[in-house]
């Protein structure tokens, strides 16, 4: 099943992980000799960042903040932001927030002083460089964007587009799990299941790599074991730390291997129905697993073990135990489990299937080919 291809990994230049690590970020920025910093974040985090901003300003660094990204960003959102900061002379971009904020921060750093248009960099490997410093700090445990070469925007036709480039990997990453403590239970659940999906789809992937398998397996194990605790008791620092680590490991999977049919089929749920990305993945994950398992029974048996299942009589039975475990995990997290529950009806399925089939960048990675009819069948099953 697995087709080995060239392994390419672009790690951040520096990675700091640990509870309370945000306290060291001001000194990190000072060492860069930055004169002006742009912080892209969200309004609820401003209180937590006041000390950082004060420390930078006391050292004579000009600090500008932008909180305009409040949902999955569009081309229009990005253009508006770039216009609003056109007169600023920042030499470092600091992205502190969820995946949407980090994706935009990465693109702002890349597009500052870049003659390429946004449309010209959409796709894989088309961005020609980045001259602005980039530091990313995740405030949710989900996308792994802080360590990935990916950024996702919704285009003017409401289709999700990926921009993938080694230049989008940050120079410095700070992962402070304490930043995620204030994240509400529903968002904790959806983003955690998104991170789990990154790991799972990288492991059960046509182009899986042994080096990435290590990250993917451990990421699945950590998230499956600790996510429900993080959802039910957001102040549990140990659970938050383990889920943050699992999310980061999932981010490392996204460059060399990437995701597959779950993500491809989830895109229309986000672009058409404005469902959060993590929830879209969770709604489809068990159904795509059922579809894929016959084509990759050993891989899905390993997935089941990572999720905490015992090995059964054979790989096929173990794989099915994994599907059951995922359903139990979604239920324990308390989020919706069917498309019907989020208001999607059968008449929307043909259009969603048509749109999903355009995401060949991800469908090509799936261990089992997905046809239009397959997509319709998966969506139909997911209605519940």
Question: Residue 328 pLDDT > 80, yes or no?
Answer: yes
Q: What percent of the chain has pLDDT over 90?
A: 92
- Residue 35 has what pLDDT? 95
pLDDT at 157: 84
Predicted structure pTM score: 0.95
Please, are residues 8 and 255 in contact by the beta-carbon 8 Å criterion? yes
Give residues with Cβ within 8 angstroms of 278, minimum separation 6. 142, 187, 189, 190, 191, 192, 193, 194
Q: Helix crossing, 185-203 with 210-232: angle to 10°?
A: 160
Condensed to tens digits (0 to 9), the pLDDT of residues 143-157 reads 999 999 999 998 888
CB-based contacts of 87: which residues, under 8 Å, 6+ apart? none
Residue 168's pLDDT band, with cuts at 50, 70 and 90, is very high
pLDDT, mean of residues 292-297: 98
In this predicted model, what pLDDT tens digit does every residue of 329-351 receive, in sequence order?
999 999 999 999 999 999 999 99
Domains along the chain with CATH numbers: 14-180 (3.40.50.1970), 185-382 (1.20.1090.10)
The confidence score (pLDDT) of residue 1 equals 62
Residue 233 or 160, more confident: 233
The string of pLDDT tens digits covering residues 342-383 is: 999 999 999 999 999 999 999 999 999 999 999 999 999 999
Q: What does the mean pLDDT of the chain come to?
A: 95
Question: Using only C-alpha atoms, what is the Rg of the chain?
Answer: 20
The model's confidence at residue 191, banded by pLDDT at 50, 70 and 90, is very high
Whether 4 shows a pLDDT value over 80: the answer reads no
Q: What is the pLDDT of residue 150?
A: 93
Confidence of residue 159 (pLDDT cuts 50, 70, 90): confident
Q: Taking residues 182-211, what's their average pLDDT?
A: 96
Indicate whether 27 pLDDT > 90: yes
End-to-end CA distance of the chain: 30
pLDDT at 71 over 90: no
- Position 2 confidence tier, pLDDT thresholds 50, 70, 90: confident
Q: How large is the average pLDDT for residues 28-35?
A: 94
3-state secondary structure (DSSP) of residue 133: strand
């Amino acid at each position: 099943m697995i087709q080995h291809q060239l392994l390419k990994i672009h790690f951040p230049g520096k990675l700091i992980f640990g509870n309370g690590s945000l306290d060291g970020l001001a000194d990190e920025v000072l060492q860069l000799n930055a004169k002006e910093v742009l912080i892209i974040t969200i309004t609820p985090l401003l209180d937590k960042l006041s000390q950082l901003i004060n420390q930078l300003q006391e050292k004579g660094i000009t600090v500008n903040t932008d909180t305009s990204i409040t949902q999955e960003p569009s081309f229009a959102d990005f253009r508006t932001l770039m216009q609003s900061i056109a007169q600023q002379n920042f030499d470092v971009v600091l992205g502190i927030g969820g995946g949407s904020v980090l994706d935009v921060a990465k693109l702002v750093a890349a597009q500052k002083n870049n003659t390429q248009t946004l449309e010209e960099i959409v796709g894989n490997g088309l961005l020609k460089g980045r001259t602005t410093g980039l530091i990313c700090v995740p405030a949710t445990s989900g996308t792994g964007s802080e360590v990935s070469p990916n950024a996702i925007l919704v285009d003017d036709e409401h289709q999700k587009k990926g921009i993938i480039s080694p230049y989008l990997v940050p120079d410095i990453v700070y992962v402070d799990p304490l930043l995620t403590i204030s994240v509400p239970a529903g968002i904790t659940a959806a983003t955690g299941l998104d991170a789990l999906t990154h790991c799972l789809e990288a492991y059960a992937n046509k182009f899986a790599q042994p080096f990435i398998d290590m990250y993917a397996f451990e990421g699945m194990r950590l998230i499956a074991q600790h996510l429900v605790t993080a959802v039910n008791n957001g102040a549990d620092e140990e659970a938050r730390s383990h889920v943050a680590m699992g999310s980061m490991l999932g981010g490392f999977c996204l460059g060399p291997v990437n995701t597959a049919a779950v993500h491809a089929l989830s895109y229309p749920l986000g672009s058409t129905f404005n469902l959060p990305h993590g929830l879209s993945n969770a709604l489809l994950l068990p159904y795509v697993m059922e579809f894929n398992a016959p084509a990759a029974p050993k891989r899905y048996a390993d997935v089941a073990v990572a999720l905490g299942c015992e090995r059964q009589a054979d790989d096929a039975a173990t794989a099915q135990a994994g599907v059951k475990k995922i359903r139990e995990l979604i239920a324990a997290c308390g989020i919706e489990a069917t498309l019907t529950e989020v208001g999607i009806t059968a008449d929307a399925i043909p259009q969603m299937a048509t749109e999903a089939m355009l995401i060949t960048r991800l469908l090509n990675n799936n261990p089992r080919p997905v046809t239009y009819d397959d997509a319709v069948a998966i969506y139909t099953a997911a209605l519940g």
